[in-house]
Amino acid sequence: MNIVLGVGGGIAAYKAAELARALMERGFAVQTVMTAAAQQFITPLTFAALTGRKVITGLFDGQTADSVLASSVEHIRAAQENQTLLVAPATADLLAKFANGIADDFLSTLYLAFTGTVILAPAMNTQMWLHPAVRANVDKLRARGNHIIDPDSGLLACGTTGPGRLPDPAYIAAETSRITAIRRDFEGETVVITAGPTQEPIDPVRYVSNRSSGKMGFAVAAAAAQRGARVILVAGPVNLATPPGVTRVDVESAVQMRDAVMAHLPEASIVIKAAAVADYTVENPPDQKIKKTMAKMSIDLSPTPDILAEVGRNKGTRILVGFAAETQNLVSEARRKMETKNCDMVAGNLVSQAGIGFGSDENEMILVPRTGEPVKLAQAPKPVIANQILDHVLKIRLAVRSGG
Ligand code: CTP
């Protein structure tokens, strides 16, 4: 597996050389990126000699963040999502840049361009580590889904004792292996996932639709495939790339989505209905474009088939997860949908809140399972939420298997 090792400018930078070695022993191909400050503590030559790769030292040494990512993908032929950025030591300065989106050198620019797993191992003086500004930045990064390897307590280079010391390189390497190990816990499952909106034609050039971007459903599909499932993604009209290893079936209308889902239902062991299906469709849309001849016009709409309810009626032993996009009464609405549509769990989100839900890259959800209390998932990038949803699906699977 490919890993980018970002080295920040702290006294612990010397330990990063040993870390590079420990990572290689664990099978990682290491690309080192050093900040200007890091080069005051240790030379790029050390890392180049250890890793066998040219070290990236600045924004202007001929490489861009995109080219590093692109060439790494090419080298290991793995999906970008499977890559890892490990920053050790992560100084207070780097944490502040990452938390606030400042991109003024190669490492901070790479951080913003990076879509894979991010692991940060902070190291600094105890007073700095405990400062509210640093605490706030660390909380922000953690909430964003970055993994933080907390510093050790002990005697620091500055002579004080307390938390702030970079943990042993062997420990950081072991933690990195653990975090990046791809869980294959969906092996043997076939998951049918719906995503995106549907479009209901008014005439050949117009349609009724909604604001769903499909990002949440695509993130669930990507995560399920990564975790070993066979994934059939029934996608409404969205502008998103098919995740690696996923079989995609493109549809437009609710009726087409229903047909695609029902056609694949016999193979499915899990059905996750993230799509925002139009509840109404236009009755008998004309074959020709409607002309602007009327002073006022109205369109008759008739209900679409409720796909989730139909799957619920034919559920068998499958696990069925519905979604509820609400502007109010989230938990009670999610519970009502779970009962009426025979789901095992409903994932609810408040779509009226800025920054989460439709179209955004982050989400905040409440999972309402059939048995047990609702679980709140804190705001996080959709891929993080996707994996949390899958973790809960597995819990249901285990409970079903053990007869609970
Ligand atoms: N759904 C579906 N078919 C439909 C409408 C909705 O399969 N025709 C599914 C969605 O994919 C989602 C769940 O039902 O998983 C809830 O969708 P939502 O639109 O929130 O619920 P509705 O049942 O349409 O209820 P309401 O519009 O009254 O909130």
45: domain CATH number is 3.40.50.1950
Kindly state whether residue 155 falls inside one of the protein's structural domains: yes
Residues 200 and 156 in one domain: no
Measured by CA distance, the residue closest to atom 17 of ligand 1 is 324
d(CA 145, CA 122): 16
Closest atom of ligand 1 to 322 CA is 15
Which residues have C-beta atoms less than 6 Å from ligand 1?
Answer: 194, 254, 273, 275, 277, 279, 304, 306-308, 322-325, 337
Using CA atoms of 125, 129, 133, 137 in order, give the dihedral in degrees to the nearest 10. Answer: 120
Residues 355 and 311 in one domain: yes
Distance 374 CA to ligand 1 centre (A): 19
Kindly state whether residue 203 falls inside one of the protein's structural domains: yes
Kindly state whether residue 185 falls inside one of the protein's structural domains: no
Mutate to test the pocket of ligand 1, among 211, 301, 337 (most ligand atoms within 8 A of CB): 337
Residues 214 and 106 in one domain: no
Residues 168 and 295 in one domain: no
Residues 195 and 74 in one domain: no
Kindly state whether residue 93 falls inside one of the protein's structural domains: yes
d(CA 375, CA 346): 11
- Confidence at residue 316, expressed as pLDDT on a 0 to 100 scale: 96
Residues 207 and 333 in one domain: yes
Kindly state whether residue 74 falls inside one of the protein's structural domains: yes
Residue 347 structural domain: 190-401
Distance 371 CA to ligand 1 centre (A): 21
Look at the chain and report how many structural domains it folds into.
2
Tell me the pLDDT of the chain (404 aa) as tens digits.
789 999 999 999 999 999 999 998 888 889 999 999 999 999 999 999 999 888 998 765 555 666 655 554 433 333 343 479 999 999 999 999 999 999 999 999 889 888 788 999 999 999 999 999 999 999 999 988 899 999 999 887 778 788 999 999 999 999 998 888 767 789 899 999 999 999 999 999 999 999 999 999 999 998 898 888 999 999 999 999 898 789 999 999 999 999 999 999 999 999 999 999 999 999 999 999 999 998 899 999 999 999 999 999 999 999 999 999 898 899 999 999 999 999 999 999 888 777 776 778 888 899 999 988 999 988 877 887 998 999 999 999 988 777 75
Measured by CA distance, the residue closest to atom 24 of ligand 1 is 279
Residues 51 and 132 in one domain: yes
d(CA 68, CA 110): 9
What the block records as the tokens of 122 is 């902070």
- Confidence at residue 251, expressed as pLDDT on a 0 to 100 scale: 98
- Residue that is last in its domain, among 140, 155, 179: 179
- Confidence at residue 58, expressed as pLDDT on a 0 to 100 scale: 77
Residues 141 and 194 in one domain: no
d(CA 368, CA 229): 23
- Confidence at residue 361, expressed as pLDDT on a 0 to 100 scale: 80
Mutate to test the pocket of ligand 1, among 307, 311, 326, 331 (most ligand atoms within 8 A of CB): 307
- Confidence at residue 121, expressed as pLDDT on a 0 to 100 scale: 98
- Confidence at residue 75, expressed as pLDDT on a 0 to 100 scale: 32
Kindly state whether residue 161 falls inside one of the protein's structural domains: yes
Kindly state whether residue 370 falls inside one of the protein's structural domains: yes
Residues 167 and 217 in one domain: no
Closest atom of ligand 1 to 279 CA is 8
- Confidence at residue 114, expressed as pLDDT on a 0 to 100 scale: 85
- Confidence at residue 331, expressed as pLDDT on a 0 to 100 scale: 94
- Residue that is last in its domain, among 125, 147, 179: 179
Q: Which of 210, 233, 234, 209 is nearest to 223 (CA)?
A: 233
- Confidence at residue 310, expressed as pLDDT on a 0 to 100 scale: 98
Distance 304 CA to ligand 1 centre (A): 10
What the block records as the tokens of 185 is 């816990």
- Confidence at residue 23, expressed as pLDDT on a 0 to 100 scale: 92
> What predicted TM-score, i.e. pTM, was given to this entire model?
0.66
Instruction: State whether residue 270 is helix, strand or coil.
Output: strand
Kindly state whether residue 184 falls inside one of the protein's structural domains: no
Distance 270 CA to ligand 1 centre (A): 18
Residues 332 and 389 in one domain: yes
What the block records as the tokens of 195 is 């995503």
Catalytically annotated residue among 48, 70, 112, 158:
158
Measured by CA distance, the residue closest to atom 18 of ligand 1 is 324
**What's the CATH number where 388 sits?**
3.40.50.10300
Is 343 a residue of the active site?
Answer: no
Residues 201 and 87 in one domain: no
Using CA atoms of 273, 279, 282, 287 in order, give the dihedral in degrees to the nearest 10. Answer: -10
Spatial contact of 101 and 113, defined as CB atoms under 8 Å apart: no
- Residue that is last in its domain, among 179, 202, 223: 179
Residues 175 and 209 in one domain: no
Mutate to test the pocket of ligand 1, among 193, 306, 344 (most ligand atoms within 8 A of CB): 306
